[in-house]
Amino acid sequence: MIDATFASAALEKFVGCDSDESNAGSPECPSIWMFGIEHGETKRNQVPEPFTGGYSISKQLTYPYNQKAFKLLSAIEGRKVSDYKAFAEEKQPFVSGVPGYFKGNLYPFACRNVHTWPTYAALETGTNDKREYQVWCRQFRLPTLKRWIDEYGPKLFIGVGIGCRDEFVQAVFGESASLTEHRICVGDYQKRVFSHVSQAITLVVVPHFSGANGLNSDDSIQQVGTLIAGLIPA
C-alpha cells in the first residue's frame, strides 16, 4: 500500500520536475514541455518535494541528458544541433524565471533506472513492489499531470522514452489516443517516433537519448527535431 505522506507529496504541483511555474507558460503564451520517465538516482533520499530554485545553463551543460535535450530543442526551432550551446545561452531553457521550456518526469521518485527499486524507495513509498507504485502513478499521478497541462496549455509535449508512450498519452490527453508511427534511418538503425496532433496540443514521444535504438547521435537528433517541427500546427 502506498504511504499516505508520500502519496500527498507526490501529487504536489511540479514534484518530479526540473522546472517551475515561471517555465510552464500559459494558453496565451505556450511553452514546450519535455518529460522523461523519472529522475536518475540521487544521494538525497527523501519524499519528493516541489522544484524550487533552478539550474543555470552552465550547470545544465554538464549533464549529458540536458545537452541532448538542448540539441533536440535547437533542431525543433530550425537550428543546427551543433548550435546547441548558443541556443541554450540565448533561450535559457528550463532556467527559473525564463518562460518557453519546461522539463519534468512522469514518475516523481528518483531511481537509477526504470527497473530498479532501492530499499529507501520501498521505505518512503510504502511498497516493496515498483509495479504497485507504477500502478498508483497511473491512477493518480498521470491525471495530476493532465490537470497541469490543461492549466498551462503547452503547445508541444515531448515524451522521452517510447516504452512509456501509453503513459504519455494518458498524461497529455487523459484517455487513449491513436499514435502515428514515424521512422527515421541513421546508418543501419531505424529510430521510431510516435505522435498525436490535436487542436489543443501536439504530443511526440521520442526514444531515449542513449542506447543503440536511441537518439544517440547528432544526425538522429537533427532528423527527429526536423520531424517534430513539421508536426506542430502553424
Residue 45 has pLDDT above 60, yes or no: no
Question: Cα–Cα distances in Å, from 95 out to 77, 83, 84, 166?
Answer: 18, 18, 15, 29
C-alpha cell at 116: 530498479
Looking at residue 162, what DSSP letter applies?
A: G
- 3-state SS, 95-143, equals CCCCCCEEEEECCCCCCCCCCCCCHHHHHHHCCCCHHHHHHHHHHHHHH
The tens digit of pLDDT for each residue in 97-120 reads 999 999 999 999 988 888 889 898
Look up the CATH number of the domain holding residue 70: 3.40.470
pTM score of the predicted model: 0.95
Residue 44 has pLDDT above 50, yes or no: no
Total domains in the fold of the chain? 1
C-alpha cell at 25: 507558460
